Structure 1
Amino acid sequence: MAESHPVGAPPEVQLESESEAESGAEEQPQAGEETQDTTTTTAGKPKKKKKKSKKAKLLSALKGEKSSEAAESSKTASKLPDEAVKKLLELNPSLKGELAGIPPEKASEILKKMDVSQLLSGISLSGKNQKDMASYKFWGTQPVLKFDEKVDDKPDGPIKEVTPEIVPKIAAPLPEGYEWVELDLTDEAEIKEVYKLLSQHYVEDDHAMFRFNYSAVFLDWALKSPGWKKGWHIGVRAKGPSRLLVASIFGIPIKLRIRQNTLDVVEINFMCVHKKLRSRRLAPVLIKEITRRCNLDGVYQAIYTGGVVLPTPVGSCRYFHRSLDWLKLYEVGFSPLPPNTTQAKMIARNQLPPHTSTPGWRVMEERDIDQVHDLLSRYLERFELAQVFTRDEIEHWLVNRHKPEDQVVWSFVVEQDGKITDFGSFYCLESSVIGDMSKKHDKIRAAYLYYYATEQAFNPKEKGLKDRLLQLNQDLLIEAKKAKFDVFNALTLHDNPMFLEQLKFGAGDGQLHHYLYNWRTKAINGGINSKNQPDESKRGGIGIVLL
C-alpha cells in the first residue's frame, strides 16, 4: 500500500503480485483445518529527522526532473539515464520479477514507454506490504489501458466488446480443497467472518502499527447499497469441517458518468486473500470470477481504486490529513513532533473553534433527501468522473440510521428559508493500534471527507465558492472533533484543493489511483499538479468518492 499508515490510507483493492507471492509464501492453511490467525507486530516510534537515504535521494532527483509544467503531461523513462532506469528496477522488485519472464528487448521497450510518474508512484520506500506492481502478465490479458497506449486521438468507449453468449456459465476451478461461495451479508455470522478476514489480512501499515478495522455496521453500509446483488459478494472457503473463509471480493452496482457517457458499472472493493494463501495466485482468479458474474448480468465495465500503480490509472489523487487530537496521534506514533517545536505548540496549532459558524447549519434529516439529491446532482455535473445518484442511494449513503455507537456517516445541511443551500458529510473508518502502542490507545478514529455541495459553485466565475468551502469544511472538522474523531482525511478530488492547506491539512505520502476496467478515456485530473501539490486549476476531474 502506498500510504504510511492505515489511518490515512484508502480502503484499497489489494492485488498481490506474482513475484511477491513467489518470494514470501508462508505455510498455507490446509483445506478442512482451522487456521490460527496471528500477526507478529513491532512497535513503532515517532520518526526523527534523518539524512536522506540513497533511495530517497534518487527519488528526489527523479521527481525534480518532472518539476516543470512542460514535463507535466508526459515524461517517459526513455528520457532517463540508463543507470537511473536500472535503479528504478531495483526499487521495484515486483516489476523486476515480472519483466524477468519477458524477452529483454520487449521488457526494455515496456519500461522505456512507462511514464516516470507511474514508476515513482509505484515505489514503496519500505519493504513491508510492498506491492509496487501487480502482475504485469495478468493485466496484459485484461481489457485495461496499457502503459504505453495513447488515447488522446481515440473516442471514449469499451476496450473490448463482450459477447454475452460466450461468457462462461460456471466459475473457473479453484485449487484442490477450496470452493466458491456467495457471501450472505444478511447473516450476522457471515458478516463477522468477513470482518475477521479483512481485519487480519487486508490492509496494514508498513511498520505494523495500525490495521484497518472494518466494523460489521460499516460493511453492511458499504456493501448493501440499493440494488446490491448477492451474486457479486464472492468468497472462497476451505472445504471440510472448518469452512474457513480465506478470500473475498465484492462488487456493488452504480451508475457512473465518464465525461459524456453514463454507464452501469460495478464498483469493486475489499478484495482480500488470506496471508498464508498469497502463493496460490488467487487474486487474478477472484478478478476473473467477478468479471464473469457481472458480464452475465449485462455489466461490462468496472471502477476500482488502489494505492499502487497498475495498468493504467485514469486519474490519481493525493491524501491529506488534518489532526483533530494531535497528542493521541503522537502517542501512537502516527504523527511526529516536527523539529524546533513542542507538543504544546502542536496541540495549540490544531485547535478548532468550539462551535460551528454557518447560519442554518444542522444535521441532515430524511425530509432533506430530495433537496440534497438535487443539489448534489447539479454539483457533480461539474466533474468528468462522477457517480449518478438515485434518490434511494442518497438516502442510503447520507442519512444516518444507527445509534451513536454504531454511526458510520455524518451529514449536515444548511437551510435558509426552507431551502437547502449547502450540505457536507464524512464517514468513519477506525484503525486498530497494534504492537506496544496499543497499551495506551487501542484504536484511532478517522473521519473521511465524503460528499458535499454548495449553491455557490454555480455563481459566475465561482464567485464566493472558496470562502464558502472554507467555512463549510471547517464546520465539518468541528463536528468531527465533537464526535471524538482523532484525524480527518481527505483527497485532492472535488474542489478540495481550494481549502486543504488553508484548513491545516498536511500532505500524506500516499496516492489513490482510480482505474476503469474495459473503458478507454484520456486521463482525468485528480487535483494535483506535476509537483504532487494541490492545484485549484486541476479541479473538475475526479468527482467520485470510493470507500
Structure 2
Amino acid sequence: MFTSLAAPMPENTFMAKHLEENKGAEGKKKKKTKKHKDQTWAKEGPQDPFEMLDSLPEEKQQEIQKALHLFSFGQGPPKSLLEAQKHTYRFWDTQPVPKIGMMDSAQLETTLPVCISTNVIHSLLDEKVTSYGPIKTEMPSVREESYSLPQEFIWDTLDLDNQKQLRELCDLLNENYTEEDDNTLRLHYSPQFLLWRALCPPGGQSQWHCGVRVNSSQKLVGFISAIPATMKVFDIELKMVEVNFLCVHKKLRSKRVAPVLIKEITRRVRQQGISQAVYSTSAVLPKPIATCRYWHRSLNPRKLIELNFFSLTHNMTLQRALKLNRLPETTKTTGLRPMTVQDVQVVQALLKEHLKAFHLSPVLTLEDVEHWLLPQDGVIDTYVVESMTGTVTDMVSFYTLPSTALNHPVHKDLKAACVLYCISKATPLLQLMEDTLIICKARGFDVFSAMDVMDNKAFLEPLKFRMGEVHKQYYLYNWRCPEISSDKVGVVLK
C-alpha cells in the first residue's frame, strides 16, 4: 500500500525499487580447491551469511558494511523530480497513486503520433491533479492469506509487549534503517521511542507490526508498521493509516522483500476497512503531494563540525562559529513550564484552532494529545506558557532522536531535538523558539532541527537555522488532491 518513514534514509527509499534476484548459473560443476587444514570455519554445504559475518571481528564487519554502503551509491530511487521523470517505477506504477511523467499534456499533443496507445500516454503524463477523491473507488476483495515470501523466510507479527522482540526490532532498525551518505552517522532508536512513535498509539493494531524472519535461525530481517490516523486533507476528514519503518536487512538487497512487505501491510490494513494512507520518504516516488525541507540550528558547533554535520564556510573560523551560535543563558518567557496531564484539554483546543489553517493536518482526540505530547524522558517534550491568570496561551513540543557516530575517534553519538508543534498566541514566536533552543542546549542537545512546515519559516533564518540538504516528500495512497506548499502542511511525519 505504502511506506514511510521516517526520516531521510536509504533503507526507506529502498521500497521504491523493484529488485531483481541475482540468479547464479546452477548446475555448473565447480572446480574443487584444496582446503588448508586450518580452514575449520569452511563447513560443507550452504553457509548462513549472517552467522559468517557475525563471526568476524567488529572492525572487519564495519569495513564490510562501509564497502557495501559505498557500493550501493546511485542504485536507489531518485532524489529529485528531474531524476524521477527518467525513472521506471515498476512497483509503484501498479499502485493507486498519481503518476510522474516526462511531459505535460500540451507537449504530448505536439510530440506523439495519433496512434500511440493510451497506456503509453498515461505513463508519459506528469499528472496534474486538480480534483479530490480516491484514485480507486472499488478496491478488489482482500485476500485472506499472507503474500508468499522466498522459502527461507517466514512472516511474524511482533509482540512489542515482549521485551526481547522489541529489542530485536531496535537492533534491526539501528543497524539497517537509516544512515548518512558518508557512513558517519546512523539514527539510534530506543525502545521507548519506538513504543511512542509508531507502534503503540491509541487504536493501534498488533497485526500492523509486520515482521519477516529467517526460517532456520528466526533472525528478524524485515519490518514495516502502520498506525491509525485521521487526517484532514483540505476540507475532507479521512480515516487512514500512517506507514513507517519499512526496513530490510542490508544483506537482503536482492531478495525483493520490500515490495512484499508493502503489499502485506496493505492487505492487513485493508482487512480493517481502510484504503488510504499517508507516508513520507526522502526519495521522489509517484507522486508527492508536498515537498518539505529540513533546517538545523547548531547548539554545539564544535562537535557538529568535528562530526562533519556542519562544515566551516570560506570566511568562517571555529571561534566565529561559536560566537555566531551563542545563546542567552536563561529564558525570557514568564510562565514557561513542562506540560502536565491537566493541560491535555487546553492543548487539544489550541491545536484544533491552530491546525485549521493547513491543507494537510491530523485530527487529534484527547487520547492522541495525551499520547503524542505528554512529556516522556528522552522521547518527547512539550512546554506550555501559563499566564498570570492561569490560562495556557502558547505551547511548543519537540522530540528526541539521537544518532550513533560511526568510527569516530572521539564522539560516540549526536543528540538532536526536532520540533513537532509550535503555537504562539500571547508570546512572540521568535522569543518562544529561542527559549526552546536555550532549554535544549542546557539539556545537552547538540542540534535542533525543524522542517519548513506550518509557520516554521518565520523563525528559521532569524534564529540562525541553516538549510539542510535533505528534503522530505509527503505522499497519500489512493487519494487524489492538488499539491500542497510546505507552509500549508500541518503535520510532521517523524
Confirm or deny a common fold (TM above 0.5).
yes
TM-score by length of 1: 0.74
**2-structure distance, mates of 1:450, 1:95:** 28
Residue number in structure 2 paired with 1:486: 446
Q: What is the 5 A alignment of 1:83-482? A: 118-119=81-82, 136-147=89-100, 148-154=125-131, 156-163=132-139, 166-222=141-197, 223-240=199-216, 242-402=217-377, 407-416=378-387, 417-435=389-407, 437=408, 439-455=409-425, 468-482=428-442
Query: Cα distance 1:392–1:12, how it changes in 2: closer, same or farther (>3 A)?
Result: farther
How far is the alpha carbon of 1:157 from its aligned partner?
0.7
Contact map agreement 1:301 1:517 (CA 8 A) in 2: yes
Contact map agreement 1:9 1:319 (CA 8 A) in 2: no
SS in 2 for 1:15: helix
**2-structure distance, mates of 1:150, 1:545:** 25
Q: Which amino acid aligns with 1:268?
A: V
Contact map agreement 1:301 1:519 (CA 8 A) in 2: yes
How far is the alpha carbon of 1:39 from its aligned partner?
3.4
**1-structure distance, mates of 2:218, 2:9:** 30
**2-structure distance, mates of 1:299, 1:430:** 33
Contact map agreement 1:354 1:478 (CA 8 A) in 2: yes
**After TM superposition, which residue ranges in structure 1, 4 or more long, deviate above 2 angstroms?**
6-25, 29-43, 91-96, 148-154, 161-164
| 2:62 paired with 1:39 | yes
Q: Which amino acid aligns with 1:542?
A: V
Contact map agreement 1:8 1:321 (CA 8 A) in 2: no
Query: Cα distance 1:321–1:8, how it changes in 2: closer, same or farther (>3 A)?
Result: farther
1:196-228 deviation digits (Å, cap 9, x = unpaired): 111111111111111111111111111211111
Contact map agreement 2:229 2:241 (CA 8 A) in 1: yes
Q: Which amino acid aligns with 1:449?
A: V
What is the identity percentage for the equivalent residue pairs of Structure 1 and Structure 2? 40
Query: Cα distance 1:424–1:95, how it changes in 2: closer, same or farther (>3 A)?
Result: closer
SS in 1 for 2:133: coil
In structure 2, stretches of 5+ residues that fail to align are 25-45, 55-60, 67-72, 101-124
SS in 1 for 2:98: coil
Query: Cα distance 1:307–1:391, how it changes in 2: closer, same or farther (>3 A)?
Result: same
Q: How many residues align?
A: 431
SS in 2 for 1:485: coil
Contact map agreement 2:160 2:166 (CA 8 A) in 1: yes
1:461-485 deviation digits (Å, cap 9, x = unpaired): xxxxxx8211111111111111110
Query: Cα distance 1:195–1:297, how it changes in 2: closer, same or farther (>3 A)?
Result: same
Contact map agreement 2:14 2:77 (CA 8 A) in 1: no
How far is the alpha carbon of 1:23 from its aligned partner?
8.6
In structure 1, stretches of 5+ residues that fail to align are 1-5, 44-90, 97-115, 124-131, 457-466, 527-538
Larger Rg: 2
Q: What is the root-mean-square deviation of aligned Cα atoms in Å? A: 2.8
Contact map agreement 2:134 2:479 (CA 8 A) in 1: yes
Query: Cα distance 1:377–1:9, how it changes in 2: closer, same or farther (>3 A)?
Result: same
Query: Cα distance 1:296–1:415, how it changes in 2: closer, same or farther (>3 A)?
Result: same
Query: Cα distance 1:253–1:11, how it changes in 2: closer, same or farther (>3 A)?
Result: farther
**2-structure distance, mates of 1:279, 1:150:** 31
Query: Cα distance 1:455–1:297, how it changes in 2: closer, same or farther (>3 A)?
Result: same
